[in-house]
């Protein structure tokens, strides 16, 4: 089988423990491009072993790094993959079938992710389903400037691919909290930059709504204690997005 005409594009910084999972399924893709921001573990060695082309740039934000990374792709299609994501066999089969009969019909394709957290797959709440546009033509996309939760937009028809991306984003509860705090700070700063004034009342209202939606309406309670923890941390991040970042979010 010929290689898929796709550039797998991933950001990297000290992701060796995750790359050992994410790299092996990528052998059928024509190219792997990694943009590293200063790894000191075995990440670079693993990327080299996988035949990846590795670039370096100091971290300067999600969108600037993604734009630089995607611009380095050489294949007709780009597959946005994070180092903590794993292509499952069903997804790989569907991606292979997509290119088997020539050029695909759509300009981009949504892929569903499922998070693995604390020994279980999260199947409800705010984290699942989680459809993201991850496969798209190299010459027909754009990405707006935003501090966090960046996304690609394409002109033309968008399809969906069967199969999942395994998202092993969080090693433990401490990392969940650190990520929540980082994203809350970025989102809060972005709102202030747009002229939005922090409001504690807005924070309480939006946070309460997010908790109820994730834990009750989207049945996060079916994921047990992990479902409650996720709903709580999402609500916490939402509060600080609207109420403003405290000097110490962990307090």
pLDDT tens, residue by residue, 192-230: 667 777 778 888 998 899 999 999 999 999 999 999 999
Q: 20: Cβ–Cβ under 8 A, 6 or more apart, which residues?
A: 46
Residue 181 above 80 pLDDT?
no
Token duo for residue 205 = 């209202």
Q: Which residue has the higher pLDDT, 246 or 203?
A: 203
Token duo for residue 148 = 């966090």
Q: Which residue has the higher pLDDT, 235 or 192?
A: 235
Nearest to 81 by CA among 179, 166, 187, 176: 166
- Over the chain, what is the mean pLDDT? 89
> How far is it, in rounded angstroms, from Cα 190 to Cα 240?
12
User: What are the sequence ranges of the domains in the chain?
Assistant: 4-167, 173-243
| 165: DSSP letter | E
> How far is it, in rounded angstroms, from Cα 127 to Cα 114?
7
Contact 95, 28 (CB under 8 A): no
Residue 1 above 60 pLDDT?
no
Residue 167, beta-bridge partner list: 85, 115
Q: 251: Cβ–Cβ under 8 A, 6 or more apart, which residues?
A: none
> How far is it, in rounded angstroms, from Cα 79 to Cα 25?
13
Token duo for residue 195 = 């002229």
- The model's pLDDT over 5-45, given as tens digits with 9 standing for 90+, comes to 999 999 999 999 999 999 999 999 999 999 999 999 999 99
Residue 232 above 60 pLDDT?
yes
3-state secondary structure of 99: helix
- Tell me the pTM: 0.85
Token duo for residue 208 = 């309460």
pLDDT reported for residue 24: 97
CATH superfamily assigned to domain 4-167: Spore Coat Polysaccharide Biosynthesis Protein SpsA; Chain A (3.90.550.10)
């Amino acid at each position: 089988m010929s290689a898929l005409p796709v550039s797998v594009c991933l950001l990297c910084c000290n992701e060796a423990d995750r790359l050992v999972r994410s790299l092996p399924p990528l052998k059928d893709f024509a190219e792997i491009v990694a943009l590293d921001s200063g790894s000191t573990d075995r990440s670079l060695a693993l990327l080299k072993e996988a035949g990846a082309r590795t670039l370096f740039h100091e971290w300067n934000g999600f969108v600037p790094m993604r734009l630089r990374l995607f611009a380095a792709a050489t294949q007709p299609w780009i597959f946005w993959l994070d180092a903590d994501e794993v292509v499952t066999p069903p997804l790989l089969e569907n991606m292979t079938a997509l290119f088997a009969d020539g050029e695909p019909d759509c300009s981009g394709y949504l892929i569903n992710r499922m998070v693995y957290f604390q020994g279980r797959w999260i199947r409800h709440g705010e984290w699942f389903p989680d459809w993201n546009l991850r496969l798209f033509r190299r010459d027909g996309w754009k990405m707006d400037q935003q501090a966090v939760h960046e996304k690609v937009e394409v002109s033309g028809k968008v399809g969906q691919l069967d199969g999942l991306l395994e998202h092993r984003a969080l090693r433990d509860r401490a990392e969940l909290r650190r990520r929540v705090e980082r994203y809350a700070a970025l989102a809060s700063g972005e709102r202030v930059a747009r002229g939005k004034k922090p409001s504690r009342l807005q924070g309480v209202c939006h946070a309460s709504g997010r908790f109820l939606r994730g834990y009750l309406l989207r049945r996060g309670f079916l994921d047990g204690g992990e479902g409650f923890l996720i709903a709580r941390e999402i609500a916490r991040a939402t509060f600080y997005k609207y109420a403003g970042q405290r000097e110490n979010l962990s307090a």
